[in-house]
Amino acid sequence: METNTHYDAIIIGGGPAGLTAGIYLSRARVKTLILNEGTIGGQMVLTHEIANYPGVESISGYQLSNVMKKQAKTFGCDIKSNITIQSMDLGNDIKTVVLEDGQQFSANAVILSPGGRSRTLGIKGEAAFKGKGISYCATCDGDFFTDKEIVVVGGGNSALEEAVSLTKYASKVTIVHQFDHFQAFEHAIDEAKNHPKINFKMESTLTAFYGNDKIESVDIKNIRTGQSENFKTDGVFIFIGYIPNTEFLKDKLELNTYGEIVVKPDMSTNITGVYAAGDSIAKRYRQVTTAVGEGTIAALAASEFLNKNKNNINHELLFQ
């Protein structure tokens, strides 16, 4: 017979948003559980160096994840990682989550922060050089390519805007796009085309990455002619879309056409007692700092919700 462990709040996802929510809730003596399907830290773990986190000059994503995890556990937050969620019921007053191994947990409130992942090219060498010359975040990693020659893959607003942004660091930016035209606003196209540091390889696609300890070159194939060339580069930034990790939430709550969780300003969803934060929600900017802010808001909103039925939560600590 399955046993059930009840919590005040369950957080799905252990990235910066989920860990922040866990820190705030646990510090206020809210009985909290974080369930994380992968490694604690989410996409943050893949970042070699974070140099724009306020109050911290430089830290690796892995180190920052461990600091956040330690804080949450110190305040009493339970954390289970590398688990698989088999099913969940969010519709009732008491929410339930069942794991693949049969463990069952319930809570009065749930915060969803499953994060997301950048859409990848899925070609030779991409996995090996991720974080070693391949990046999916200009804001995170642009500074590491100062005076370097880089490649940007994509033809939408994000690709063109980030390419222009990267010219603050890189000596040369080559945009590789599979079509003969861009899928972006005119002002973004004009800005990229008129920038002296930006060059273009249209109707082309990357087919492989090469290097030793870090990326050194890529194969670029012209789709129209079929010809390929080996192109020397110090780094590649890929902006071909973003995928929220919300497949398991389909038909359970409101998602937009991109699969992102729709939230109100207090991070509440269309289901009472269910909140969301981090890279899985509908928003424009995806940074560690934005995720931390959303995790904070979700924790505060969830605590107010819990306070309607419980009196043992120390809400004063939430605001300190």
140 tagged catalytic: yes
Q: How many CB atoms lie within 10 A of CB 14?
A: 28
- Name the catalytic one among 77, 137, 234, 279: 137
77 tagged catalytic: no
141 tagged catalytic: yes
Output the DSSP codes for 196-240: TTEEEE-SEEEEEEEESSSEEEEEEEETTT--EEEEE-SEEEE-S
Write the DSSP symbol of residue 255.
B
Asked if 131 contacts 117 with a C-beta cutoff of 8 angstroms, the reply is: no
Write the DSSP symbol of residue 248.
G
- Name the catalytic one among 140, 219, 266, 279: 140
Q: At what angle do helices 157-166 and 186-193 cross, to 10 degrees?
A: 30
Alpha-carbon radius of gyration of the chain: 22
Intra-chain end-to-end CA distance of the chain, in Å: 42
d(C-alpha 234, C-alpha 79), whole Å:
39
Tokens of 156: 């939408």
- Name the catalytic one among 77, 78, 89, 141: 141
The catalytic residues are 137, 140-141
